[in-house]
């Protein structure tokens, strides 16, 4: 559903992306990881047609993003980091605007709004102005406006930033349900735990390239170790390390209290 081939982008002398290749199939969730400034948002902006790459191409549901922009855009939804809700409009009006912009009309439009508000737990807030919502509710509405048209490809740029625990859990549940219906999802985050919940494949951006990619479990098994420190209440402290399923004591010694 989404194919990114040989995408490169530089700003002045700074090369942000260097020949990126990413493919996301229908129903697949790909988590995009990387430090701040690694190029995650730039890559999503290119995939959405908001930024033109210096090299490479993007295909959305079989449509070349540059040559068939309108067709490709009809298959695409993007929720950027910055909230895109209209504060003076109600929840219903925000969703209505997004749905009409996507071409939904009549019964399809009403059904889409009803289903989406139920999915995101916003039914009781339908007549409430967006400015009056909590931070987590605004974040849910922001994502709901992207999903109301049921896009074939969904791009989510850190969708849980600023969300409370309940909203974060709700958004993750919706992403899982959306992928289960066949949508290809690209999900950027700094939280590896979210990608574990989503059972996502991962791609790690580093110095403008995909440094590591593959199913999350395989990548963790190949690269990760989990150090655990356990402190007891007495003078003694035990240092332990978990490797795979084996728990072994690396070092144990007494700590003299100051």
Domain locations in the chain? Answer: 2-224, 225-258
For 133-162, what is each residue's pLDDT tens digit?
999 999 999 999 999 999 999 999 999 988
Q: What is the pLDDT of residue 116?
A: 94
DSSP 8-state code for residue 132 = G
Q: What is the pLDDT of residue 230?
A: 64
For 50-68, what is each residue's pLDDT tens digit?
999 999 999 999 999 999 9
Q: Any idea which of 78-87, 113-122, 223-232 has the lowest mean pLDDT?
A: 223-232
Distance between CA atoms of 222 and 248, rounded to whole angstroms? 19
Confidence check: pLDDT of 236 > 60: no
Q: Which two tokens stand for residue 45?
A: 């902006």
Positive or negative, the CA dihedral 180, 135, 156, 107 is positive
CATH superfamily of 2-224: P-loop containing nucleotide triphosphate hydrolases (3.40.50.300)
The answer to whether 23 and 2 have CB atoms below 8 angstroms apart is yes
Q: Any idea which of 40-44, 56-60, 200-204, 246-250 has the lowest mean pLDDT?
A: 246-250
Query: pTM surpassing 0.95?
Result: no
């Amino acid at each position: 559903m989404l194919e990114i081939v040989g995408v490169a982008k530089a700003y002045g002398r700074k090369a942000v992306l260097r020949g990126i290749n990413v493919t996301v199939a229908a129903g697949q969730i790909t988590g995009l990881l990387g430090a701040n400034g690694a190029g995650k948002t730039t890559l999503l902006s290119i995939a959405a047609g908001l930024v033109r790459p210096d090299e490479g191409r993007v295909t959305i549901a079989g449509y070349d993003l540059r040559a068939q922009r309108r067709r490709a855009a009809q298959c695409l939804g993007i929720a950027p980091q910055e909230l895109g809700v209209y504060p003076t409009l109600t929840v219903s009006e925000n969703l209505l605007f997004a749905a009409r912009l996507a071409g939904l009309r009549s019964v399809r439009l009403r059904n889409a709004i009803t289903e989406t508000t139920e999915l995101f737990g916003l039914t009781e807030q339908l007549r409430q102005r967006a400015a009056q919502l909590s931070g987590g509710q605004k974040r849910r509405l922001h994502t709901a406006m992207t999903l109301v048209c049921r896009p074939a490809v969904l791009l989510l740029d850190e969708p849980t930033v600023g969300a409370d625990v309940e909203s974060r859990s709700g958004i993750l549940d919706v992403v899982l349900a959306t992928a289960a219906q066949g949508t290809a999802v690209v999900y950027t985050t700094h939280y590896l735990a979210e990608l574990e919940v989503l059972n996502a494949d991962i791609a790690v951006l580093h110095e403008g390239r995909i440094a590591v990619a593959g199913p999350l479990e395989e990548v963790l098994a190949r690269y990760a170790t989990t150090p655990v420190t356990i402190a007891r209440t007495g003078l003694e402290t035990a240092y332990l390390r978990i490797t795979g399923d084996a728990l072994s004591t690396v070092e144990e010694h007494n700590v003299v209290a100051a």
